[in-house]
Amino acid sequence: MKLEKMVRKDVLDNGVRLVTEQVTSVRSVSIGIWVDVGSRDERQGEEGLSHFIEHMVFKGTRRRSAETISREIDALGGELNAFTSREGTTFYSTVLDEYVKEGIDLLADIFHHSRFDARELTKEKRVVLEEIRMVEDDPEEHLHDLHTENVFGEHPLGRPILGKVETIQGLQRKKVLSYRSRYYRPSQIVIAVA
Beta-bridge partner residues of 81? 92
High-pLDDT (> 70) share of the chain, %: 97
Question: Strands 189-193 and 17-23: what pairing?
Answer: parallel
* Higher pLDDT pick, 23 / 89: 89
User: Could you tell me the CA-to-CA distances from 73 to 80, 117, 161 in Å, in that order?
Assistant: 7, 21, 27
Contact by Cβ (8 Å): 115, 60: yes
Question: What pLDDT digit, counting tens, does each position of 42-76 carry?
Answer: 998 999 999 999 999 999 999 999 999 999 999 99
34: amino acid identity, one letter: W
Beta-bridge partner residues of 93? 31, 80
Residue 3 in this model has a pLDDT that exceeds 70: no
Rounded average pLDDT over 109-124: 97
98: amino acid identity, one letter: E
Question: What pLDDT digit, counting tens, does each position of 143-167 carry?
Answer: 988 999 999 988 888 989 999 999 9
Residue 97 in this model has a pLDDT that exceeds 50: yes
For 149, residues 6+ apart whose C-beta sits below 8 A from its C-beta are: 158, 159, 160
Contact by Cβ (8 Å): 177, 171: no
For residue 1, the model assigns a pLDDT of 47
Catalytic residue among 46, 54, 120, 124: 54
For residue 24, the model assigns a pLDDT of 86
What is the third-level CATH fold of 5-193? Cytochrome Bc1 Complex; Chain A, domain 1 (3.30.830)
Task: Work out whether the CA dihedral 97, 100, 102, 108 comes out positive or negative.
Answer: positive
Rounded average pLDDT over 88-103: 97
Active site residue 102: no
**What is the pTM (predicted TM-score) of this model?**
0.92
Question: What pLDDT digit, counting tens, does each position of 21-46 carry?
Answer: 998 889 999 999 999 999 999 998 99
Confidence of residue 132 (pLDDT cuts 50, 70, 90): very high
Confidence of residue 4 (pLDDT cuts 50, 70, 90): low
- HSE-up (13 A, CA, CB side) for residue 144: 8
